[in-house]
């Protein structure tokens, strides 16, 4: 079954108010084994403290909400992570979150 592309996707800086959608995606990716070695998403304060404030993005569609996110951490070698609805992200925003 193929999914139709989501239109009007906007990639923008992440805000604290995006946390419920970001956390939902993070938890889904943990459950499916597609992301991180963590066993549960952090709370907002831990997430906020561990990632660079000026290097966080979300992909959002008006009728869908947060589709995916990306963030960078200050680690040796440069750390980044991205999470989201893979098929929709590929169709709608391509590599914008990579």
What are the pLDDT digits (tens) for 2-35? 455 566 889 999 999 999 999 998 888 888 876 6
What is residue 31's predicted lDDT score, i.e. its pLDDT?
85
pTM assigned to the model: 0.72
Per DSSP, the residues of 43-81 read: PHHHHHHHS-TTSEEEEEETTTEEEEEEEEE--TT-EEE
If you average pLDDT over residues 47-76, what whole number do you get?
A: 86
Least confident of 39-48, 52-61, 75-84, 85-94: 85-94
Task: List the strands of the sheet with 65-73, edge to edge.
Answer: 10-13, 56-61, 65-73, 79-84
Q: What CATH architecture is 10-91?
A: 3-Layer(aba) Sandwich (3.40)
**Mean pLDDT of all residues in the chain?**
77
What is residue 17's predicted lDDT score, i.e. its pLDDT?
96
Question: Is 79 in a helix, a strand, or coil?
Answer: strand
Kindly list the domain boundaries of the chain, sorted by start residue.
Answer: 10-91
What is residue 38's predicted lDDT score, i.e. its pLDDT?
76
């Amino acid at each position: 079954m193929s999914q139709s592309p989501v239109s009007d996707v906007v990639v923008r800086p992440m805000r604290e108010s995006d946390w419920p959608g970001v956390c939902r995606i993070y938890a889904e990716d943990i459950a499916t084994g597609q992301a991180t070695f963590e066993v549960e998403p952090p709370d907002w304060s831990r997430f906020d403290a561990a990632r660079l404030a000026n290097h966080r993005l979300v992909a959002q569609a008006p009728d869908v909400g947060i589709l995916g996110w990306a963030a960078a951490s200050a680690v040796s070698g440069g750390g980044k992570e991205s999470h989201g609805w893979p098929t929709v992200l590929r169709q709608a925003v391509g590599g914008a979150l990579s």
